[in-house]
C-alpha cells in the first residue's frame, strides 16, 4: 500500500473515544467528531513556539491536525479524514503533543531546570 490510506483503519465510537480520553488524555475532549485540546500560552511568541512544535510533530508523523491560533492559546483538533473518524493515529499524535508541549524539565532530575518563575520568561501555562 502506498502513502494514501485505504480507509480500513479501525475507528472508535464516541463512547470508546471518551473513555480513552478520560484514561489517557484527560485535558482532551470529544466534540463534533474531533478530539480537541486548548493549550494556553503566555503570549504571541509562546503561541508560535507551540504551533511550530505541533507542526513539526504532525509532519513527522504524517497526520495533520486543524489548528486555531490566537494571541495566548492554540486549539488543536484531530480526526482521521481517510478513516472518517477517530483512530489510533489521533490518540498517538495527541499523546506526543502532550509529551512535548507540556514537558516540564524542572520536574525531572537532570541538568535542565526549565524556565525561571519570572514573568520575563513565561512560556506556557501548565495544567
Ordered by where they begin, the domains of the chain are: 14-103 (3.30.1360.20)
- Predicted local distance difference test score (pLDDT) of residue 106: 85
Q: Has residue 3 got a pLDDT over 90?
A: no
Reported as a single tens digit per residue, the pLDDT across 71-86 is 999 999 999 999 999 9
Q: Which residues contact 42 (CB under 8 A, 6 or more apart)?
A: 72, 122, 123, 124, 125
Rounded to two decimals, what is the model's pTM?
A: 0.90
d(CA 30, CA 74): 16
Query: Residue 52 in contact with residue 44, Cβ under 8 Å?
Result: no
| Residue 36, beta-bridge partner list | 29, 77
Amino acid at each position: 500500500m502506498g502513502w494514501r490510506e485505504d480507509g480500513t483503519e479501525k475507528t472508535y465510537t464516541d463512547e470508546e473515544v471518551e473513555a480513552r480520553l478520560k484514561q489517557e488524555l484527560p485535558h482532551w475532549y470529544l466534540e463534533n467528531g474531533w478530539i480537541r485540546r486548548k493549550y494556553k500560552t503566555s503570549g504571541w511568541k509562546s503561541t508560535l513556539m507551540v504551533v511550530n512544535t505541533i507542526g513539526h510533530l504532525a509532519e513527522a508523523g504524517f497526520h495533520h491536525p486543524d489548528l486555531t491560533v490566537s494571541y495566548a492559546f492554540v486549539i488543536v483538533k484531530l480526526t482521521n479524514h481517510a478513516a472518517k473518524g477517530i483512530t489510533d493515529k489521533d490518540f498517538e499524535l495527541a499523546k506526543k503533543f502532550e509529551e512535548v508541549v507540556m514537558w516540564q524539565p524542572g520536574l525531572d532530575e537532570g541538568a535542565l531546570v526549565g524556565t525561571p518563575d519570572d514573568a520575563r520568561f513565561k512560556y506556557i501555562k501548565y495544567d
